[in-house]
């Protein structure tokens, strides 16, 4: 099959052969991502990320499973990590906003100003955090990375990231109360 030849070509250094694999699976991977994310732009981005991950992991591909199956697993895991990170972020926003956020509200100039002040206050609180807490909070809440992704970027253990985020939230709550 041509697919096997393209894989061997890529592994032997002819990286341009990877474009054939991308063309072969691009639509299918995109649709898998779209089904999970339900957002076109996110699906496009995550499909791209999935192909990039697959490219760098191609040497670990074992022909026990079809290439497509292996690639879909990468795409599904990538999208599930994304969804998990985004769900945590949205849950955090809902908790931070309180029960009133669940009701439909009219965006008045006063409310917009208040929201801006709250964002400004939150950013100030985050800026006051010491490292590594500041970085962990930024990566988790503002970039939407999972514990695993933060651990990979920082070189720390996943449990360490979890602990640092827990402590950072505790410090933020304490500092917020101090301001009131």
Q: Kindly report whether the global pTM for this prediction surpasses the value 0.85.
A: no
What is the number of residues in the chain? Answer: 180
Domains of the chain: 2-84 (1.10.1740.10), 107-179 (1.10.10.10)
Say yes or no to pLDDT of 18 above 90: no
pLDDT, the chain, mean: 80
How far is the CA of 144 from the CAs of 47, 91, 177, in angstroms?
17, 12, 26
Round to whole Å and give the CA distance between 43 and 31.
Answer: 8
Q: What's 103-164 look like in SS3?
A: CCCCCCHHHHHHHHHHHHHHHHHHHHCCCCHHHHHHHHHHCCCCHHHHHHHHCCCHHHHHHH
Q: How confident is the model at residue 164 (pLDDT cuts 50, 70, 90)?
A: very high
């Amino acid at each position: 099959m041509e697919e096997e030849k393209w894989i061997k070509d890529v592994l032997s250094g002819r990286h341009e052969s990877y474009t054939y694999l991308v063309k072969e699976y691009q639509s299918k991977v995109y649709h898998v991502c779209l089904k999970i994310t339900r957002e076109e732009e996110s699906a496009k981005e995550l499909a791209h990320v999935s192909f990039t991950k697959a490219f760098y992991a191609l040497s670990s591909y074992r022909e026990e499973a079809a290439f497509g199956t292996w690639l879909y697993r990468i795409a599904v895991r990538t999208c599930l990590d994304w969804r998990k990170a985004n769900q945590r972020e949205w849950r955090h926003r809902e908790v931070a906003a309180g029960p009133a956020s669940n009701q439909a509200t009219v965006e008045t100039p006063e409310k917009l100003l208040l929201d801006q002040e709250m964002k400004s206050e939150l950013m100030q609180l985050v800026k006051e955090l010491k490292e590594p807490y500041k970085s962990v909070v930024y990566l988790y809440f503002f970039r939407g990375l999972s514990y695993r992704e933060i651990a990979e970027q920082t070189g720390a253990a996943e449990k360490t990231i979890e602990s640092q985020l827990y402590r950072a939230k505790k410090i933020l709550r304490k500092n917020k109360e101090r301001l009131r």
